[in-house]
Structure 1
Amino acid sequence: MNSLSLLEELASADYLAHLQQELSRKHLLDEHRNLNLSNSSEQEFLELFFSMNLFKEGKPLSPHTMKAYRSDAKTLLIFLMDHSLSFRDIGFPEVKAYNRFITDTYAAKSAIRKLEFFRRLLDFGYETQFYQSHLSTWITKPASKKGHYSKSKQAEKNRTPLRELSQADAERILSFFPQIVKSKRNQEQLKTRNLLIGYLLYTTGLRASELLSLNWGSFRYSRQGHVFVDVIGKGNKERTVPIREEVKRLLFDYRESIHEPTELDPSDQSPLFFALYNREAVGQEKKRLTYAALYKIVKEAVELAGRNTHVSPHWFRHTFVTMMLEHDVPLAVVKDWAGHADISTTNMYLERVNQDKMHAHLDKVQLF
């Protein structure tokens, strides 16, 4: 089997169950019932590494994480093939050479992720005796510069945000979300859908993947009658985000426009956003909207608005976090709404917001 195809084959829990049954037959367990891959083939080593890392609590990782795994595995495999190396050949010189190749080739964020994949593979090899030495000790990751500022010297000097919109620009772009619809078929439904997409991006700070994975059953009422949306974020972590009243009205308008029930039903797992063009066909399954379609909607709206052509769906997330902090929403609350794993990430936004307010504080003081 081609090593690059392992991730696709390992995408089902059935395969993992079958693989577990094969361990004893292949004599890969030692007398203590522990994995011992000292005499295994490279194919068996890779299969076990991928299967142990692709499933958490019996569930496969998200498509986004799977894609990252495939990219990182491909980078390593190509490097080994280019240097006529096998996995068994990896030792101290090969670790240092690959480390240098990654840090010289990729930006810090990508390099850190790829080296983390490499570290996990080497650690797995050491723990299962595929490798006799703790090779991951020799990996050195580049420093990561947190925050959302440009890496260019001029941008750092001016502290210019890289991926953030002003409130005026965000609202102008939103106004063009319905206007990009050219098709006469389902025109009103598409316009309403696009506007709802824009408002959700702008007022909830959802990641693109989180927005696209929403179901109708993701929305619910609180005991006070407010609407919330339950989101599954990175690492399958759940969080709850409040929905503004104007977005609630638009949500129900959208459901009416596509002739779907507007009563909130937590059991309804049908996708909130889906392709509308073929929905009239009898028995047609709703096909969830893709990231490519979402990206196209944002890009076309940005072009019509005449704004920065680099704007992507993620810019609205940065804008949301900054605006919440500018309006004195507590740091911990914004962290929870945004789904940041660490409050230090949210604090990076707050530092910039506080810097912008420096003159307002200074002007309050009578010095002359």
Structure 2
Amino acid sequence: MDDIIQEYLHHLRIEQGLAVNTVQSYKRDLNKYTSFLAAKKIASFDAVVKADVKEYLTMLNAEKLATSSISRMISALRQFHKYLVEEKVIKINPLDDLKLPKKKQNLPKSLSVNEVDHLLSTPDTKTVLGLRDRAILEVLYATGLRVSELVTLTLSELHLDLGFIQTIGKGDKERLVPLGEEATYWVEAYLATSRPSLAKGRAETPHLFLNFHGKGFSRQGIWKNLKKLVQEAGIHKNVSPHMLRHSFATHILENGADLRIVQELLGHSDISTTQIYTHISKERMVESYRQHHPRA
């Protein structure tokens, strides 16, 4: 069974072009599944029946995993067994008519425009690190980049004269994202003074944003730095880099942007992922109506 899983993971990575992190997620889910089968002394996938899958789901529920996690695992198993049918490893997919548990839709939280303005103005831009932090915040809010995209952003992917940045998102898909005048200004200021100081005369590193040691940031480094700035700004919310991404999407939709354009900017492969932001806008519309209409 291990050999078949390895072939499948290779299929996901090479033929379907899924990102490394996504493939690793599939690997973890399938390893958990095969461990369960091994405990039941099931030695091949063609011996798996629907009752075995239901027992596996019962076990997952007993572990009190989130509904979203269980849904993801079932989806992974369904795709895997579909692959096994196509490769003639098994004849029947035991998950074909299995109903997925309903996934609870949690609306992403975002900052208000005033909170974003306050956060962006928090770093002391007269200092090397403050100017860098301002540039990072401006880029996150101006582009809606994922933190993983931000930390891998290189100098060669900047096209400041055109007002765009180039990035590689999920599934290794490349996209161009407008940067905007304000963010461009702060990035240019950072490149002119802060970055040379942080590089400390080392051999040129390709990363755009450098930490105190002159190296590219880690995801954890960006998160930790943001937490400090949020605290300094006096914002009492659990702000993450992803919340700035949500704020970017919510604010441009509220100002009339087309949903398809937002989908492209965020790098969503499916517009249904982007549509969650329309629910946020509707909630705020109702809230504003109740607050300002004399008979609400």
Query: Does the 8 Å contact 1:123/1:135 carry over to 2?
Result: no
Judged with a 3 Å threshold, the aligned counterparts in structure 2 of structure 1 residues 218 and 190 are, in CA distance, closer, same or farther, namely: same
- The counterpart of 2:181, out of the listed 235, 245, 259, is 245
- Structure 1 unaligned regions, length at least 5: 1-41, 150-161, 180-186, 261-267, 280-286
Instruction: Determine the structure 2 residue equivalent to 1:155.
Output: none
Residues 1:71 and 2:28 aligned together: yes
Instruction: Determine the structure 1 residue equivalent to 2:280.
Output: 352
SS at match of 2:232: helix
Instruction: Determine the structure 2 residue equivalent to 1:107.
Output: 66
Larger RCO (alpha carbons 8 Å, 6+ apart): 2
1:90 partner amino acid:
V
2:79 partner amino acid:
R
| Alpha-carbon shift at residue 296 of structure 1 (Å) | 0.9
**Alignment of structure 1 residues 7-86 onto 2, 5 Å:** 42-56=1-15, 61-86=18-43
- The counterpart of 2:133, out of the listed 182, 194, 216, is 194
2: CA distance, partners of 1:269 / 1:120: 40
2: CA distance, partners of 1:348 / 1:124: 30
Instruction: Determine the structure 2 residue equivalent to 1:258.
Output: 195
SS at match of 2:96: helix
- Structure 1, residues 17-71: CA drift from partner, whole Å, max 9, x if none? xxxxxxxxxxxxxxxxxxxxxxxxx2322221222222237x6x43432442343
**Alignment of structure 1 residues 1-368 onto 2, 5 Å:** 42-56=1-15, 61-88=18-45, 89-102=47-60, 105-146=64-105, 148-149=106-107, 162-177=108-123, 188-221=127-160, 225-256=161-192, 257-259=194-196, 270-277=206-213, 279=214, 287-358=215-286
2:155 partner amino acid:
W
Query: Does the 8 Å contact 1:95/1:139 carry over to 2?
Result: no
1: CA distance, partners of 2:282 / 2:134: 32
- Structure 1, residues 145-165: CA drift from partner, whole Å, max 9, x if none? 44x42xxxxxxxxxxxx5211
Query: Does the 8 Å contact 1:212/1:291 carry over to 2?
Result: yes
2: CA distance, partners of 1:194 / 1:362: 38
SS at match of 2:275: helix
Query: Does the 8 Å contact 1:69/1:117 carry over to 2?
Result: yes
Query: Does the 8 Å contact 1:99/1:140 carry over to 2?
Result: no
1:245 partner amino acid:
E
Task: Choose 193-202 or 298-307, whichever is displaced more.
Answer: 298-307
- Give the TM-score normalised by structure 1: 0.67
SS at match of 1:55: helix
2: CA distance, partners of 1:69 / 1:79: 16
- Structure 1, residues 163-217: CA drift from partner, whole Å, max 9, x if none? 21112222333334559xxxxxxx9433222221111111211111121221111
SS at match of 2:224: helix
SS at match of 1:136: coil
SS at match of 1:289: coil
1: CA distance, partners of 2:163 / 2:241: 23
| Alpha-carbon shift at residue 248 of structure 1 (Å) | 0.8
SS at match of 1:231: strand
Judged with a 3 Å threshold, the aligned counterparts in structure 2 of structure 1 residues 306 and 76 are, in CA distance, closer, same or farther, namely: farther
| Alpha-carbon shift at residue 81 of structure 1 (Å) | 4.9
- Give the TM-score normalised by structure 2: 0.81
- Structure 1, residues 113-133: CA drift from partner, whole Å, max 9, x if none? 211221222222223333232
Structure number with greater Rg is 1
SS at match of 2:196: coil
- Structure 1, residues 325-351: CA drift from partner, whole Å, max 9, x if none? 121223332222222333343333234
Give the count of matched residue pairs. 286
- Structure 2 unaligned regions, length at least 5: 198-203
Instruction: Determine the structure 1 residue equivalent to 2:200.
Output: none
| Alpha-carbon shift at residue 252 of structure 1 (Å) | 1.4
2: CA distance, partners of 1:239 / 1:127: 32
Q: Percent identity?
A: 26
CA RMSD between the two structures: 3.2
